[in-house]
Amino acid sequence: MKVFASSDIHFDHNPANQKVWELLHKKCLTQKPEVLIICGDLAESLSAFDQSLSLFKDLNCHKLFVPGNHDLWNRVDTKSNATQKLEVDLPKICNNNNWHYLPSNPLQIENWTFVGSPFWYDYSLMPKDHPFSVEDFQKKSYQGRTWQDSNFVRFTQFKDDFEVCKHFYNQLKSDLKLAKTKQIFCASHFPCHHEIFNFTGKNWPLEYFGAYMGSNRYQELLEQYKVSILLSGHVHRKFDETINDMRVILNPLGYLGEWKSNDPHSEIDFAIKQLII
């Protein structure tokens, strides 16, 4: 089975990002993957989200989506509950555009089960010797810089990030329990492995923000259910290693300033992970 995977397209961030998305669409039409998976941070506004998904309406394959924190942002009504986007708006737009919204339902394709969850962060990916307290991380602001989820993502039914994390953990666990195939492919937005990060301890004001990169608590659950492949996003860096028999992949597009070039035509090849599973 031919799978194309990517994340962090940030469609409404820059016209160059939009161009890569259009090129991805063209590439899928010619190379015909059986599955396309996007692991979040596709678009902030619902109209851009709808626009980006609708571009793929003539692509006849399984199109799977998992939301990231940016997909849950609401800059207009910052008091709104992110659950509205997570459980109502995004699934509806996916459904209208013939995309499969993985957090609502896992999907079995041949001898693989695809499960998906945004995951969340609980500061557990920070190195052991960091100098911060839990209260420092809960402020989501340090030396004048702010983690913008604190302004734009609000889960009003959860009291803190630990509860958000636990909510997604429980959902993932029930999805994994129901998987009927031996081979499981998990798609998440936030990663869960320490191995992805290279903390130096030499620049804590910057490394403070590592607290919001994901959570280690999902790793054990994925290993318990013998997940074969974990595809994540959020961290705008490529990664592809096998950890405890699980292939862990990050293959984001990211922001223009992070690209190898300024050219969407050359960036498109780096932005797609092609897998045969």
Q: Give the footprint of Fe ion on this chain (CB under 5 A).
A: 8, 41, 68-69, 234
Least CB distance to Fe ion at residue 189 (A) = 6
CB-nearer residue toward Fe ion: 49 or 112: 49
* Beta carbon of residue 108, minimum distance to Fe ion (angstroms, whole number): 27
Kindly state the smallest distance separating residue 245's Cβ from Fe ion, in Å.
27
CB of 79 to Fe ion, least distance (A): 22
> Are the C-beta atoms of 13 and 254 separated by less than 8 Å?
no
Of 184 and 234, the one with the shorter C-beta distance to Fe ion is 234
- Residue burial 139-167, b: 16+ Cβ < 10 Å; e: rest: ebebeeeebebeebbbbeebeebbebbbb
Closer of 112 and 168 to Fe ion (Cβ): 168
Main-chain phi, psi angles of 33, to 5 degrees: -70, 155
Residue 261 Cα distances to 110, 180, 257, 274, angstroms = 38, 43, 9, 21
User: Of 211, 240, 242, which Cα lies nearest the Cα of 227?
Assistant: 242
Nearer CB in complex with Fe ion: 8/12:
8
Cα distances (angstroms) measured from residue 65 to each of 34, 35, 73, 157, 241 = 14, 11, 16, 24, 23
Which CB, 41 or 175, lies closer to Fe ion?
41
Across 185-210, b (16+ Cβ under 10 Å) vs e yields: bbbbbbbbbbebbebeeeeeeebbeb
- Min dist CB 34 to Fe ion, Å, is 26
d(CA 98, CA 58): 10
Give whichever of 113 and 264 is closer to Fe ion, judged by the CB atom: 264
Cβ at position 10, least distance to Fe ion in Å: 6
